[in-house]
Amino acid sequence: MGRVYLPPHVLVAVSLAAAVAALLIMAARPAAGRGDPPAEPRPARSAAGSSSPVSGGVLAAQVESRPAPEPAMRERDPAREVVRPAAGTTVVVRSRPRGPVVARLGPRTEFGSPTTLLVAKRRGPWLGVVTTHVANGRLGWVDARAGELRSAWTRVRVVIDLSARRLVVRRGDRTLFRMTVGVGRASSPTPVGRFAVTDKLAGARYGAYYGCCILALSAHQPRLPAGWRGGDRIAVHGTKDPASVGAAVSAGCPRGRDADLRRLLRLAPLGAPVVVRA
């Protein structure tokens, strides 16, 4: 039988068709030594339609393509900054950043304790500090660039609940100590708000009325009893009348038993925040 003559253009078309067919066959054939890839597992659905944490013995966390969200940060009891003037320096406290001067503080308070200021706000280089030299509910402002300040941090805070007649010391979310306190009478109630510890003092230096110990606060009493001559500073202190603890009988200062006051002074550092609530 003789050879069949095909025109050149027909030969090219046949060759291209054969090449395409070979490529299609190779693409459809599994690679040598490999099976079909497994289907991605999916979490099983519960009756309510939500994903179960376990699917076919595989934890859903291993299947989930997105990482689990980070737990929310607990900011109820953050560490609080306190500052102290270095020895031989003076801190100028202003009513607002670059405002009028309200006080000049040295390394010691008027009662002899180390000057310790709780930092409540920051505005650039300015520190809003809790100080007894401004009215309740206001902050003094210190320029962190002027003078030399020593910083420290505390997680301890004191909470005084007037209606429950209770004082609680906490470190972070942990309760360290509870004590019963007397509070101000109706005509001179204990002021509420956010304050700070300024001094730890021996009660005997100021009279038997104060019991063993005094934890002075930055707070002031705006409603002093008529004829009162003891100043307007609020402090948690002991008493020579233990029966008054738990009652509303004072000129505004919370009072407690001496044993409780001694422990309170050990636990509450200078500068610690104090929250007084109704």
Under the banding of pLDDT at 50, 70 and 90, the label for residue 230 is confident
Taking residues 232-248, report their average pLDDT.
Answer: 95
Spell out the domains of the chain, with CATH numbers in brackets: 80-154 (2.30.30), 156-277 (2.40.440.10)
d(CA 128, CA 144): 10
Task: Using the predicted structure, report yes or no on whether residue 19 has a pLDDT greater than 80.
Answer: no
How would DSSP label each residue in 32-71? TT--PPPPPP-PPB-TTSPBPSEETTEEHHHH-SSPPPPP
Question: What number is the average pLDDT over the span 202-226?
Answer: 95
Checking if the pLDDT of 20 tops 80, the result is no
What value does the mean pLDDT take over residues 198-222? 96
Chain segment 105-128, per-residue pLDDT in tens: 999 999 999 999 999 999 999 999
pLDDT given for residue 106 in this prediction? 94
Q: What percent of the chain has pLDDT over 90?
A: 67
Instruction: With a cut of 80, say whether residue 39 has pLDDT above it.
Output: no
Torsion of CA 173, 220, 259, 271, to 10 degrees: 50
Instruction: Please give the angle made by the CA atoms of 152, 155 and 277, to the nearest 5 degrees.
Output: 120
pTM, 2 dp: 0.72
